[in-house]
Amino acid sequence: MQDKIEGYVEHIVYRNEENGYTVLNLTVDGSEVTCVGTFQSVHEGEYMEAEGEYTEHPTYGQQFRASVSRIKIPQGGMALERYLGSGAVKGIGAALAARIVRRFGEDTLRIMEEEPERLAEIKGISERKAREIGEQMIEKAQMQNAMIFLAQYGISLNLGIKIYNQYQDSLYRVLKENPYKLAEDIQGVGFRIADEIAGRIGIRVDSEYRVKSGLYYVLSQAAAQGHLYLPKQELLYRTGELLGIESDILDKYLMDMAIDRRIVLKEEKRPGQEPSVIVYTSQAYYLELNTARMLQELNLVCTEEEEGVRRKIERIEKESGIVLDEGQRQAVAKAAENGLMILTGGPGTGKTTTINTMIRYFEGEGLEIALAAPTGRAAKRMTEATGHEASTVHRLLELSGAVDESSANVRFERNAENPLEADVIIVDEMSMVDIHLMHALLLAVVPGTRLILVGDMHQLPSVGPGSVLKDMIQSGAFPVVELATIFRQARESDIVVNAHKIQKGEKVRLDNKSRDFFFLKRQEIPVIQKVILTLISRKLPPYVGAAPQEIQVLTPMRKGPLGVERLNELLQKYLNPPAAGKPEKETGSGIFRQGDKVMQVKNNYQLEWEVRDSHGIALQKGMGVFNGDLGVITSINPYAELLTVLYDENRSVDYTFKQLDELELAYATTIHKAQGSEYPAVIIPLLGGPRMLMTRNLLYTAVTRARKCVVITGSQETFQAMIENEMEENRYTTLAERIREAGEIRKQKEER
């Protein structure tokens, strides 16, 4: 049974206008009650009725947590004066409120709503001001009515505010005609929420709106899995499963969607296969098409004399005291002679030395060089390895925000109208770059600029859609140099040697005679968990000279006793236990505690960060925190409902408690999330798992994340099975084909 309270809003302590979350003081029967909840619209002086329950806050004592509330129309002259004079109606202060109530008495609110022009009878109110007050009263009433209307369909106040702000008066029409429009227009409303609302409203299961929205949703979900299109039959099957209707009745809607330019249907002919129809969202199709075109525009041959290039490389070798192998020399020469080239190779093959030689070469030519990588950690590593400042690709392109939280609608200051001014751009960790980021980068690069792309094609593909590096190499359209020789120094590391063995599918010795690659054979889950705790808390920190928080547990899975979620619970308990004076915040998924290691789990282009001095004053500001960024919780303020995380480069980010679903504990992370990062030591638990997941390139990626030490614990059989499992994530992309097509078109133009 819920409690019910009512009284005047005395003071608003905190309000988030975006979602309506408010902390306020309510005067109830002469006593002040702290009331918290999501309120559609509230002002000091208003009379509020609320339902909910009393709770005990550890810091602020008793609070009333409201689940339902409404503003009641005040009764009586004094109450009306108080309400109008509180600021609830803009432009009316205490003195003016008193004059209005004296003039119209208990009829005041009706006059304001129905005959606002009469307010001009009051001294101090012009006809214009009277109209403005009337408009405010109408808007308040409309919003109140809208919330009541939405509530009957089970729509929460928080979501209701978003819907009202988006559609205003037209929300009734939108909801009754096509509630699926909500999924397109409002961030946070996916197909499933819209479908639930549609079901309550009574929209038919085979409604045209539902079918089209379902088809588009399935394509969007495929993008989240890395695909840029789906074969038509697969799309129809997946949509039929989702909607619970026969897939053969869906086909007719595809042509309508193609005519409306929401999708692109294309016949694809593959060698040795029957032609088949594939389906893209329009955005994905043109993204690939334009990326291919821009890559071909950069694919120029530079007028460099071959012998001259060779002599310059030799001089750099002599001056810097290094000896390049033939592959490295070839890579530097191709970088000098071509507008676009790709450098690939595994660990220990000298990619860093090659990049450094390229930098010296281009500096000798007086060219301006920009270095970038997809993540903050990868950029930091690049800076340390080259001695030249590297930034994230987002910072290089000067991220200015996003229309919403999707990578598809990101805005950069650097673009076709305001291109990058560098003569040479070198991008590392290219396997992590998805099609959206690649497209944004290419828009900002003018033909004539040298673009050098560096990466390991055997690593996992990007988190976002596409497999850009792999497709570019497979297209055969660009100069590619693959470094294969493992250098003497690198050969001394079993991490490097074994990584290459894994990549080639060769057997790895597990006799533990190594100094940096260990296998601890364990078969029982509790024993493996105990081993992980012992390694991270006692054994590894002194061995690699790092703090326990710097050592990373990498696991293939999220769920299960050796998955991310369970391991994080255990590791938090041992590495950052609760203590007096250490604030924490409980969420639906667990507990965040000051000092916890956390990870951002989605791209948020609108999240602001600051670099602060010791007094908390902002020295630098920027936008954007990205999927995979690691940080530490430095403070939790329950009163302001803020949690602060310190990321690499001393970037401090404040999260509201409503945003905590963007964070998760990161003592253990999935191997996918560790791409582009490097740690002093990694611990990898392996004890069975789905064959589709337990692959060679997953193991290879995990092992290559370690700088000084790899410890694998679990089953030798699982380890060996992963080496033998060559399955790779099959992504539906056609970038390689589009690159070849763009090359043909360019060739034809040149021949004319």
Strands 390-392 and 450-455: unpaired
Lowest mean pLDDT among 136-150, 432-446, 565-579: 136-150
Q: Of 586, 472, 546, nearest to 706 (Cα)?
A: 546
Residue 402: predicted pLDDT = 59
Token code pair at residue 554: 């990498």
Average the pLDDT over 587-593 and give the result.
86
Please give the pLDDT value at position 407: 56
Give the pLDDT band (50/70/90) at residue 648.
confident
pLDDT of residue 122: 83
Give the pLDDT score at 343.
Answer: 97
Residues 6 or more apart in contact with residue 586 via CB below 8 angstroms: none
- In this prediction, residues 317-339 reach a mean pLDDT of 92
Q: What contacts 24+ positions apart, CB below 8 Å, involve 398-404?
A: 399/605, 399/622, 399/623, 399/624, 400/623, 401/605, 401/606, 401/623, 402/605, 402/606, 404/187
Q: Is the pLDDT of residue 729 over 80?
A: no
Count CB neighbours of 616 within 10 A: 8
Distance between CA atoms of residues 16 and 155, nearest Å? 19
Is residue 160 helix, strand or coil? helix
Please name the residues in contact with 437: beta carbons below 8 A apart, sequence gap of 6 or more: 374, 393, 394, 407, 464
| Residue pLDDT, tens place only, 133-186 | 888 777 777 777 777 677 666 666 667 777 777 777 777 777 777 777 777 777
CB 672 within 8 A of CB 35: no
Q: What percent of the chain has pLDDT over 90?
A: 47
Inform me whether the pLDDT recorded for 4 exceeds 80.
yes
Supply 655's token pair.
């999260």
pLDDT of residue 75: 63
Question: Which ranges constitute the DSSP H helices of 321-430?
Answer: 326-337, 351-364, 376-386, 393-396
pLDDT tens track for 487-504 = 877 778 899 999 999 999
Query: What is the number of other CB atoms lying within 10 angstroms of the CB of residue 413?
Result: 11
**Structure confidence at residue 195 as a pLDDT band (50, 70, 90):** confident
Q: Which of 20-29, 572-581, 607-616 has the highest mean pLDDT?
A: 572-581
- What number is the average pLDDT over the span 541-567? 94
Band (401; pLDDT cuts 50, 70, 90) = low
**Quick one: which of 332, 401, 403, 329 has its CA closest to 361?**
332
User: What integer best gives the mean pLDDT of the chain?
Assistant: 87
What's the rounded Cα separation, in Å, for the pair 154 and 630? 37
What pLDDT, on the 0 to 100 scale, is given for residue 205? 83
Q: How far apart are CA 472 and CA 461, in angstroms?
A: 13
Weakest-pLDDT range from 99-113, 168-182, 737-751: 168-182
Please state whether 350 falls in left (phi above 0), alpha (psi between -120 and 50) or beta: left
Q: Which residues of 142-160 are buried (b: 16+ CB within 10 A; e: fewer)?
A: ebeebbeebeeeebebebb
| pLDDT tens string 219-255 | 988 998 899 999 999 999 999 988 888 888 888 899 9
pLDDT of residue 148: 67
What pLDDT does residue 168 have?
76
What average pLDDT score do residues 670-685 get?
91
pTM of this structure: 0.78
What pLDDT was estimated at residue 614? Answer: 79
Least confident of 13-22, 99-108, 298-307, 425-434: 13-22
Distance of CA 683 to the CA centre of its chain: 26
